[in-house]
Structure 1
Amino acid sequence: MTEENLRSTPLAAVHERLSATFTDFAGWRMPVRYTSDLVEHHAVRTSAGIFDLSHMGEIRVAGSRAAAALDHALAGKLSAVGVGRAKYSLLLTSAGGVVDDLVVYHVSDNEYVIVANAANVEVDLTEVAARTASFDVSVTDESVDTALVAVQGPMAARIVLDALGAADTDLDLDEVRDLKYYRVLTGTWQGVDIMVARTGYTGEDGFELYVPAANAEELWDSLVTAGGEDLVPCGLACRDTLRLEAGMPLYGHELTTSTFPSQAGLGRVVNFAKEDDFVGRSALENRDASDDRVLVGLAGQGRRAARAGYEVKDGEASIGVVTSGVLSPTLEHPIAMAYVEPDRAEPGTVLQVDVRGRSLPMTVVPLPFYSRH
């Protein structure tokens, strides 16, 4: 896709003013970095970073049977999620593969907001609409009209509270401060609707704030003012290294329609205790997963990183493939996620990765590689 055909977020002018370097991501012209991948990565680990995530999709499902509809459409039990809570879930194929991984917010009685990966918004919308058609609910794509700005890092709470405190909002700042992980508040901010969630994709504390697209710059500027030198604009490059250190899967790498949840360590996300049927249930209940390759963490030495697509070997035998890899900015050694044969997945197992024709040893380690706790 040529650059002029790429979609831009409501914050495109901000990124231009900050002299961002752009990349094509899922058909969007997105900032990959502003200054340095390392500077931006370390800012999130030590102070805070601000991200434009407006390329993500927002799908609202509303109606008296919304909970039952989502129980059927998704792998998790959304009817058990209280108002003001969020749940990580999966949209599965009928064969049990992963169409997308999602965060679902229960924002009010009989009303949910699904946040979809940018590359999958159209597919997700079509699937959710089809799967919920018999439940008499409304399914609305609000992606174009919604901006998403994330503030992530140890100082995120202070920055978000300061920004909200300087604004005209009906949000209770004590409730924002005390908001637990995977919880969400809704209210008004500067006369428009806002959704404030304590969620993120970096392994750090943080917030994701949803406002109308027309108010994106005002929200961004208010957060930057509140953050001062403690807040650094961050692009997609550091978002990827942060999520990899935190052991979080990326759709198209660790998750695909050919991937079963149990392979990716996401078997817990599939709720077989649900009373009613859901798409993908019978396929997963009836298959033998004992020979499936499984997702593991790999840690190496030196400075050469294993990248997605690199072959994993045990001696001369090919036993897996790398899905994501990087020289970890925080840990200062190579890390990777890979699918390997189940009998070679035990932590402590030493395997080899073919890095541009050179065999480098990497050791199976538990995920995540990094945790703030």
Structure 2
Amino acid sequence: MTTPRLSLNQRLRKSPFEERSHVGATLASVYNHVVLPSVYASLEEDYWHLREHVQIWDVACQVQVEVQGPDALALMEYLTPRDLSQIVPGQCVYAPLIDADAGIVNDPIILCLAPDRFWLSISDSDVLLWVKGLATGAGFNVRVFDPDVFPVSIQGPKSDLLLSRLIDTPTEDIRRFRFIEARIADTDLIIARTGWSGQGGFEFYLAESAKGVDLWDTIVGAATDLNLRSGCPNLIDRIETGLLSHGNDMTFSNNPIEAGLDRFFKLGKDSDYLGRQALEEIASAGPSQRMVRIMVPGSGITNPREIYPMRVSGSEQPGSVTSICHSPRMRCHVGFAYAPADSCSPGTRITISTPAGDAEGQIADEHWRVDASDHSVG
């Protein structure tokens, strides 16, 4: 099958870094109406480089939605079952947004810039329209808009060393899910210890898009001896790390309980939130399915364009595989799937249906073990 080339036009948002980030990219996707590189050398080579060195990622696709005004915190609380009552300026919080049926609308990182000012750094759905509609319909006294802010990220074990060459603040002072203000390449930035990888790193929030190439070049120039490469969120790394992808592993049809996001919300928080009754009912009855990790021997199974049906031993209820790849480190396929809630224990046998035929595997625990006594993988 021939894949058509992407036609760039005004309906696609332009990244201020694309003059640099598109060079060398061999595959790309569209995320929040922005072209996002998805592979450079190869999926596996990019993976190993990310684990060993440092990469610079164009993540301008993580569009920002700003909420500002007297009711800003009240609106933020209404958007999510996550308790934000103790959030303080300089803090970042991962928070699932849900609709009236408790379906997952998005799962942004929320940045508290001030008690009455927040950014939602969103995954792939039109959150700006969602938040605008809720703010208007419920009468919150806020402004909701799309600021001129574009993130670029450095990820990998050498990220701290690279950042230390760019700012005066000791990098160890930037705690996980916290941010500082800094100035690089003659422009003011917010730098957060966040990022969509398991290797650690930082995200730079650029508020002056005209300085995008200058910022990119300054970062690259400080890393001449660090084997820095252009990179992007890596499928293998994010599955091994347990990072779910909105639009793939969870959608409006999934709720935070079945998606395994229990630790990221407080069901009975003091502030009211959209979808509260629905989420409480799901919690009371118990979800019909659960997100699990799966391991399948062999290689060659590709990530699904559409979900792969899955049969689970001991259950007539079907499951579904949402993401899968071959892990060169674990030497098998690893992935995410929804399994019947009563048949999702580690070690449970599964059979998945792929375009290449059926493949058998097992459900694993959060450490990628199919047997709790096995400490050889993870």
Give TM-score scaled by structure 2 length.
Answer: 0.87
Report which stretch shifted further, 116-125 or 261-270: 116-125
CA contact (8 A) 1:61 1:138 kept: yes
SS at match of 2:220: helix
SS at match of 1:44: helix
The 1:2/1:230 distance shift into structure 2, 3 A limit, reads closer
**Aligned residue runs from structure 1 range 48-63, under 5 A:** 48-63=54-69
Deviation at 1:214, TM superposition (A): 1.4
The match for 1:213 among 206, 209, 216 is 209
Deviation at 1:91, TM superposition (A): 1.2
Is there any run of 5+ residues in structure 1 with no aligned partner, and where?
Answer: 165-171
CA contact (8 A) 2:75 2:135 kept: no
More helix by share: 1
The 1:293/1:275 distance shift into structure 2, 3 A limit, reads same
> In structure 1, what is the equivalent of residue 375 of structure 2?
none
> In structure 2, what is the equivalent of residue 90 of structure 1?
96
The 1:289/1:162 distance shift into structure 2, 3 A limit, reads farther
The 1:155/1:43 distance shift into structure 2, 3 A limit, reads same
Q: Distance in 2 between matches of 1:15 and 1:306?
A: 25
SS at match of 1:251: coil
| Structure 1 counterpart of 2:7, one-letter code | E
Q: Distance in 2 between matches of 1:303 and 1:357?
A: 11
Mapped pair 1:279 → 2:271: no
Q: Distance in 2 between matches of 1:273 and 1:291?
A: 18
The 1:128/1:47 distance shift into structure 2, 3 A limit, reads farther
> In structure 2, what is the equivalent of residue 169 of structure 1?
none
Mapped pair 1:193 → 2:209: no
The 1:22/1:356 distance shift into structure 2, 3 A limit, reads closer
> In structure 2, what is the equivalent of residue 4 of structure 1?
8
Mapped pair 1:31 → 2:73: no
**Aligned residue runs from structure 1 range 114-263, under 5 A:** 114-127=120-133, 129-130=135-136, 134-142=139-147, 145-164=148-167, 172-174=168-170, 176-211=171-206, 212-228=208-224, 229-236=226-233, 238=234, 240-263=235-258
CA contact (8 A) 2:56 2:152 kept: yes
Deviation at 1:28, TM superposition (A): 2.7
Aligned residues: 358
SS at match of 2:249: coil
The 1:291/1:55 distance shift into structure 2, 3 A limit, reads closer
Q: Over residues 322-373 of structure 1, what are the superposed CA-to-partner deviations in whole Å (9 max), with x where a residue is unaligned? A: 0000011332310110001112200111211123353222111123549xx9
SS at match of 1:230: coil
CA contact (8 A) 2:28 2:39 kept: no
Q: Distance in 1 between matches of 2:344 and 2:150?
A: 40
Mapped pair 1:14 → 2:10: no
CA RMSD of aligned residues (A): 2.5
Q: Distance in 1 between matches of 2:18 and 2:356?
A: 40
- Of all paired residues, the percent bearing the same amino acid is 25
The 1:224/1:357 distance shift into structure 2, 3 A limit, reads closer
Is there any run of 5+ residues in structure 2 with no aligned partner, and where?
Answer: 370-377
Q: Distance in 1 between matches of 2:333 and 2:123?
A: 27
Deviation at 1:251, TM superposition (A): 0.7
Give TM-score scaled by structure 1 length.
Answer: 0.88
